[in-house]
Chains A and B, each alone.
Chain A
Amino acid sequence: GAGVSQTPSNKVTEKGKYVELRCDPISGHTALYWYRQSLGQGPEFLIYFQGTGAADDSGLPNDRFFAVRPEGSVSTLKIQRTERGDSAVYLCASSLGSGTSVDFGPGTRLTVL
């Protein structure tokens, strides 16, 4: 079946601009996660959704970052007033629920000039 999909695959923006990154999880997966991976680092947890609600947003670095999942399926990660330090690969993942394995999408490479 189809895996986790993310769009766009690459995004180049200028400092100060607003960006939206989209994630389409595996059908039937109720849990959805956003991670961020900088060069040479492991993925870093940002936010977790169970259904429509953000169950844990403790990993969001500051209030410029926000994510939604209005219908419990597709999620959008929103970054306001982007900074060069936001440049990274943003990974979305989904799972059937707690304690089950997590499947990652291909990621969106964000470059802030």
Chain B
Amino acid sequence: QKEVEQNSGPLSVPEGAIASLNCTYSDRGSQSFFWYRQYSGKSPELIMSIYSNGDKEDGRFTAQLNKASQYVSLLIRDSQPSDSATYLCAVDLNSGYSTLTFGKGTMLLVSP
């Protein structure tokens, strides 16, 4: 059974700090990894994708993947109150199509 685990939070950080969000997954065959942001009452919005071990940076966001440890993380630098949302980790076996297995999400609260 495919599982994706995240701490539910909330993770509270002050404005300007680095927020670190973590995710582990159970299926070693997983090939694609995604972070989605979901504001309350809204649908998930893709913010990062990562496919190979190491770091991938996009603006204030850095995704990190370690397939040996089955671990994915998202770092948000210079956190802003507008970053306050639930962050969903999603994993795809890439078995020919993109059916994602999501974690429950981590709520991030950035205080001014």
User: Which residues of A pack against B, CB within 8 Å?
Assistant: 31, 33, 40-45, 48, 50, 55-56, 59, 91, 95, 97-107
Contact = CB atoms under 8 A, between A and B. Distances in A.
A40 B10 CA distance: 12
A45 B97 contact: no
Interface string B80-112: 000000001010001011111111110000000
Interface of B: 4, 8, 32, 34, 42-46, 49, 88, 90, 94, 96-105
Contacts of B99: 33, 45, 48, 56, 59
Given A31-B97, A42-B88, A48-B99, A104 B44 contact: yes
A41 B104 contact: yes
Given A33-B99, A42-B4, A45-B99, A99 B43 contact: no
Contacts of A41: 104
29 contacts: A33-B98, A42-B4, A42-B90, A42-B102, A43-B44, A43-B88, A43-B100, A45-B99, A45-B101, A48-B99, A55-B97, A56-B99, A59-B99, A91-B43, A95-B98, A97-B97, A98-B94, A99-B94, A99-B98, A100-B98, A101-B34, A101-B46, A101-B49, A102-B46, A102-B98, A104-B43, A104-B45, A105-B43, A107-B43
B97 to A, nearest CB: 4
Interface centre among A45, A98, A107 (most CB of B within 10 A): A98
| Closest 9 pairs (CB-CB, A-B) | A42-B102, A104-B43, A98-B97, A45-B99, A43-B102, A42-B104, A42-B88, A104-B44, A107-B43
A102 B49 CA distance: 11
Nearest to A107: B43
Contacts of A103: 46
A11 B59 CA distance: 39
Contacts of B96: 98
Contacts of B98: 31, 33, 95, 98-102
